[in-house]
Structure 1
Amino acid sequence: MKKIICFAIVLIFQSFYAQDIAAKKPEYVIIINNEISSMEKVEKYGQDGYVKSMNKGVSDEKRNELAKKLGDKIGDKEFIIVVEIYTEKEKIENDKKRSSAVAEKQTVKKPQEYILNINDKAADFTLKLIDGKEIKLSDLKGKVVLVNFWATWCAPCLMEFYDVPTKIIEPFKNDDFVFLAISKGEAEKLVSKKVEKLKKDGLSFNYGIDSDQKIWNQYGMNSIPKNFLIDQNGIVKYVSTGNATGNLENIVAEIRKLLSK
């Protein structure tokens, strides 16, 4: 009887302990010529001018096709990077085109990324959350608000999310701070399915729906993830695009500045 009780206690302990373990951050899986490769090899191909294209994320069909060949170690579809390599003939043609472009000194205008910029008044909105509740931005006056735009297909967005609990949520859980993760232009059913998985991985925060992009169209354009840090008076104080190394650390530093005022 004592052995049974001890065994039950161990099972319960293991169950609670498992819930406390942070979910492992996903890793990108690189596919070149239908084989798993490495970033070092991609960089070598890039230096030699052989990289034709590099796309993050694949369809469900493509992911399943790769899984049959390479096994489930390829992971989720959002974190698969498919790299196409030029043939020798294609590389020669591409080198000619590139040389011609340089000779003509073509200038590529950098795309605009933000509708609202630093020191602009944040556009008010009412956000419907996954659980059916609603949050109005103007009702959060007096708090520091971080608005994040993401999508279920956006690997950099998801990678960023896996760092949010430890770097954003936990440090400011006792402060006047709110994090809003707004899904850009996707159906509620699709977002709900992805959020269900994210929450199982311990990524529990305010997920909102912006299916018609009404909120997004007041804030940004082009690339995601995008972050807008809004101060206690509803003024945008920091903006960022992408998930480059150090990006969240910069956001954390700006949050601390605003909370210290």
Structure 2
Amino acid sequence: MKNLFFFALLILSQTFYGQKKPEMVILIDNELGTMEQVQQYAGQGSVKSMSKGVTEAEREALFKKFGDKIGDKEFIVKVALYTENEKLANAQKMPPPITAPTTKTAEYVLDLNNIAKDFTLKLIDGKEVKLSDLKGKVVLVNFWATWCGPCLMEFYDIPSKILEPFKNEDFVFLAISIGEDEAKVAKKVAKLRKDGMDFNYGADPEKKIWNDYGMNSIPKNFLIDKEGVLRYRATGNDEGNLERIATEIRKLL
């Protein structure tokens, strides 16, 4: 059942984007694979785990290994299979090994109910926007990167779930790419806008803004009220995440 659950998630990742979904790469035990292979392994009960998205370093390593087969494809799914020993252990219903408890990783610099750290963001079109100049508006600050599959997956739902419902309200959305030069970001933004994701994009190449707000994983969203106070924050692109953010936006308008 667990394997079928992972397989269902994989199918979901293919359809999540809608008609304009980015290309997807499937890795099975760190080798290029296909959906047909995943389906076969799932039917055999061989799928151990699945993860959506990779780090920037992992993506660069994959590009070095596979070249154009990775290319600029934006969404990577990693599938791990059980080893023969693990299969035997499962068949014998051996108890899982005892592991030490993991320590929760810190994700935020800025705490809830604190005044949001002011910043000046240079947008891709050359204009500048200063956070403190947006007082009187609710502001959603999103941190992303061009290599981050979950970030891009989230973007495909931003227009319908965030922008359209609040287009006539005192609301501003800022998408800030972290640790990347403006030329690289501009190239990706041109493609995103062509696919219908036309909103405020800026670059934070030296992570000056990012370092005042978050750490570790992206995407991250920070919701700031009309007085400049942080009221909500979220990490990742879990199911229902944008709906929860939209609910919090309505509370602040």
TM-score band by shorter chain is 0.7 to 0.9
Asked if residue 188 in structure 1 is aligned to residue 192 in structure 2, the reply is no
- Residue 123 of structure 2: aligned partner: 129
Cα separation, 2, equivalents of 1:170 and 1:31: 35
Tell me the amino acid that sits aligned with residue 221 of structure 1.
Answer: M
Asked if residue 64 in structure 1 is aligned to residue 68 in structure 2, the reply is yes
Tell me the amino acid that sits aligned with residue 56 of structure 1.
Answer: G
Alpha-carbon spacing, 1:91–1:187, altered in 2? closer, same or farther (3 Å): farther
* C-alpha RMSD of matched pairs (Å): 3.2
Alpha-carbon spacing, 1:197–1:108, altered in 2? closer, same or farther (3 Å): same
Cα separation, 1, equivalents of 2:178 and 2:40: 31
Q: Following TM superposition, by how much is the alpha carbon of 1:48 offset from its aligned partner in structure 2, in angstroms?
A: 5.7
Q: Identify unmatched segments of 5+ residues in structure 1.
A: 1-21, 68-75
Asked if residue 233 in structure 1 is aligned to residue 231 in structure 2, the reply is no
Asked if residue 25 in structure 1 is aligned to residue 21 in structure 2, the reply is yes
**Number of corresponding residues:** 224
Cα separation, 2, equivalents of 1:49 and 1:162: 28
Secondary structure of 1:114's match? coil
Cα separation, 2, equivalents of 1:145 and 1:185: 22
Cα separation, 2, equivalents of 1:143 and 1:195: 25
Alpha-carbon spacing, 1:39–1:233, altered in 2? closer, same or farther (3 Å): farther
Q: Following TM superposition, by how much is the alpha carbon of 1:39 offset from its aligned partner in structure 2, in angstroms?
A: 10
Asked if residue 248 in structure 1 is aligned to residue 242 in structure 2, the reply is yes
Cα separation, 2, equivalents of 1:40 and 1:87: 15
Q: Is the 8 A contact 2:41 2:47 kept in 1?
A: no
- Residue 172 of structure 2: aligned partner: 178
Q: Is the 8 A contact 1:141 1:234 kept in 2?
A: yes
Secondary structure of 2:129's match? strand
Alpha-carbon spacing, 1:38–1:154, altered in 2? closer, same or farther (3 Å): farther
Tell me the amino acid that sits aligned with residue 79 of structure 1.
Answer: F
Q: Following TM superposition, by how much is the alpha carbon of 1:170 offset from its aligned partner in structure 2, in angstroms?
A: 1.2
Cα separation, 1, equivalents of 2:247 and 2:36: 33
Match of 2:140 among 132, 146, 155: 146
Cα separation, 1, equivalents of 2:250 and 2:82: 48
Tell me the amino acid that sits aligned with residue 53 of structure 2.
Answer: K
Cα separation, 2, equivalents of 1:164 and 1:48: 35
- Residue 155 of structure 1: aligned partner: 149
Residue deviations 1:57-86, cap 9 Å, x none?
A: 54556262369xxxxxxxx52213243435
Q: Identify unmatched segments of 5+ residues in structure 2.
A: 1-17, 90-94
Secondary structure of 1:171's match? helix
- Residue 6 of structure 2: aligned partner: none
Asked if residue 34 in structure 1 is aligned to residue 32 in structure 2, the reply is yes
Tell me the amino acid that sits aligned with residue 34 of structure 1.
Answer: L
Cα separation, 2, equivalents of 1:43 and 1:119: 48
Cα separation, 1, equivalents of 2:252 and 2:165: 14
Q: Is the 8 A contact 2:223 2:231 kept in 1?
A: yes
Q: Following TM superposition, by how much is the alpha carbon of 1:174 offset from its aligned partner in structure 2, in angstroms?
A: 1.0
Between structure 1 and structure 2, the one with the greater Rg is 1
Question: Which moved further from structure 2: 23-32 or 153-162?
Answer: 23-32
Give 1 or 2: higher helix fraction.
1
Tell me the amino acid that sits aligned with residue 186 of structure 2.
Answer: S
Secondary structure of 2:139's match? strand
Secondary structure of 1:202's match? coil
Q: Is the 8 A contact 2:47 2:79 kept in 1?
A: no
Tell me the amino acid that sits aligned with residue 128 of structure 2.
Answer: E
